[in-house]
Structure 1
Amino acid sequence: MHTEKPKIHFTDNDLISPTNPITVNLIGAGGTGSKVLTALMEMNHSLMALGHAGLSVCLWDDDRITAANIGRQRFAESEKGLYKSVALINRVNRFSGTNWKAQTLKFEKDSLTRYAEEMRAVIYISCVDSVQSRFEIADILRGLHSNQRYYRDSPKYWLDFGNSQYTGQVILSTIGEIRQPDSKKYQTVANLPFITEEYGELLKQSETSDTTPSCSLAEALEKQDLFINASLTQMGCSLLWGLFRNGMTPYRGFFLNLKDFRSQPVLVD
Structure 2
Amino acid sequence: MHLTPAHFLDRRVDVVLVGCGGNGSQMLTGLARLNHALTELGHPGLRVTAFDGDTVSEANIGRQMFSPADVGQFKSVVLVHRLNAFFGLDWIARPIPAGASELVNVGGGITIMCVDSAKARAKLAPIVQRTTAYVMDLGNRASDGQVVFGTASNHAGCGAKLRWPYDVLPELVDEWAPEDNTPSCGLAEALERQELFINQAIVTPALGILWEFFRHGRLTWCGAFVNLKTGHVRPLPVEATERNQ
TM-score category of the 2 structures, normalised to the smaller one: over 0.9
Equivalent residue, structure 2, for 1:257: 227
Please report the RMSD computed on the Cα atoms of aligned residues, expressed in angstroms.
1.7
Residue 3 (structure 2) pairs with residue 13 (structure 1): no
1:136 shift after superposition? 1.9
Q: In the alignment, which residue of structure 2 is the partner of 1:148?
A: none
Equivalent residue for 2:184?
214
Cα deviation code 1:98-156 (max 9, x no counterpart): 010000111123xx1x66312x1111111111011122221112333xxxxxxxxxx22
Deviations 1:40-68 (A, max 9, x none): 11111111101110011111000001110
Instruction: Name the CA shift for 1:11/1:115 in 2 (closer, same or farther; >3 Å).
Output: closer
Query: Cα deviation per residue 1:216-241 (whole Å; 9 max; x = unaligned)?
Result: 11111122110010111111111111
**In the alignment, structure 1 residue 199 sits paired with structure 2 residue 169:** yes
Distance 1:170 1:115 in 2: 21
For 1:159 and 1:213, how far apart are their aligned partners in 2? 25
Match of 1:239 in 2: 209
Aligned residue pairs: how many? Answer: 239
Contact 1:60 1:106 in 2 (8 A): yes
Q: Distance in 2 between matches of 1:230 and 1:124?
A: 19
CA distance in 1, matches of 2:157, 2:62: 44
Partner residue of 1:137 out of 119, 124, 134: 124
Structure with larger Rg:
1
Equivalent-residue separation in structure 1 for 2:26 and 2:49 (angstroms): 14
Q: Percent identity?
A: 37
- CA shift, 1:179, in A, is 5.1
Which residue among 119, 138, 143 is the counterpart of 1:166?
143
Amino acid at match of 2:92: K
SS at match of 1:116: helix
Structure (1/2) with the larger helix percentage: 2
Q: Give 3-state SS (helix, strand or coil) of 1:93's partner.
A: helix
Q: What does 1:167-186 correspond to in 2, within 5 Å?
A: 167-178=144-155, 180-181=157-158
Q: Which consecutive unaligned segments of at least 5 residues does structure 2 have?
A: none
The letter for the 1-side match of 2:189 is E
Please name the residue that 2:92 is paired with: 101
> Following the alignment from structure 2 to structure 1, what is the Cα–Cα distance between the partners of residues 103 and 152?
20
1: CA distance, partners of 2:78 / 2:36? 20
TM-score (norm 1): 0.84
